[in-house]
Chain A
Amino acid sequence: DILMTQSPLSLPVTPGEPASISCRSSQSLLYSDGNHYLDWYLQKPGQSPQLLIYLGSNRASGVPDRFSGSGSGTDFTLKISRVEAEDVGIYYCMQTLAAPLTFGGGTKVEIK
């Protein structure tokens, strides 16, 4: 299985300030088609997770451009350029390169 490790576990943020979350995989998520099969999800309180970023760096429909994804191989980063109050929740990375699909443990983002 591909192990996904996120850091930090918890991230207190100040509105208007940037934030960054790291996700590492136990093996490369690069497939022969040139895509990295790494997605990011946000689970807001009381809701099901929602897609933010797919294939490492592509924003999902309707996702604000303050969210960006980057990385390659085994190291990936989700950045929020300026955190807003509505961004609180738990962020998860997920690999879809190979079954079984696996999630990171989550990063809880909260407002200071």
Chain B
Amino acid sequence: QVRLQQSGPGLVKPSQTLSLTCDISGDTVSSNRRTWNWIRQSPSRGLEWLGRTYYESKWYSDYGVSVKSRITISPDTSKNQFSLQLKSVTPEDTAVYYCVRYTLYNGIDVWGQGTTVTVSS
């Protein structure tokens, strides 16, 4: 059974960098037909896709428009995990953050447990 386990701080100060990690068990981050995504949810913004990383002969990453200038999503094959870094956070970045697996022709079929991140001094 595939499992995604998130880790990272629940409180980040304004202007600092939000960093979360998603450990994968039961699958590998370089699997074919899979993308590894970060999604967040807040009352003001609803469900918002932040970006993804995936391997197709080489590594690719795509990002959401609202965070494109501040975000990095990267894989770590040695640890079988992927991570999110969001720079220069503001209170608007307060949300529940999810790492998820998307399988081609199968949708988002695995979700992490969610991490509530609050941006506050």
Interface residues of A (CB under 8 A from B): 1, 35, 39, 41, 48-51, 53-55, 60, 92, 94, 96, 99-103, 105-106
Contacts and interface: CB of A to CB of B under 8 A. Distances in A.
Tier of interface size on chain B: 20 to 34
A51 B107 contact: yes
Contact of A54 (B63, B105, B111, B113): B105
A100 B64 contact: yes
Nearest to B110: A51
B109 A49 contact: no
Contact of A48 (B49, B51, B63, B98): B98
Given A54-B106, A54-B107, A106-B47, A48 B113 contact: yes
A51 B106 CA distance: 9
Interface-centre pick from B46, B47, B51, B105 (highest chain A CB count, 10 A)? B47
A96 B102 contact: yes
Given A41-B108, A60-B109, A99 B52 contact: yes
Contacts of B114: 48
A100 B62 CA distance: 7
B107 A60 contact: yes
Interface of B: 37, 46-49, 51-52, 62-65, 98, 102, 105-109, 111-114
Nearest to A1: B65
Contact of A100 (B63, B102, B112): B63
A11 to B, nearest CB: 17
A7 B62 CA distance: 29
Contacts of A41: 108
10 contacts: A48-B111, A48-B114, A50-B111, A51-B107, A51-B108, A54-B105, A94-B47, A100-B64, A101-B37, A101-B49
Nearest to A95: B49
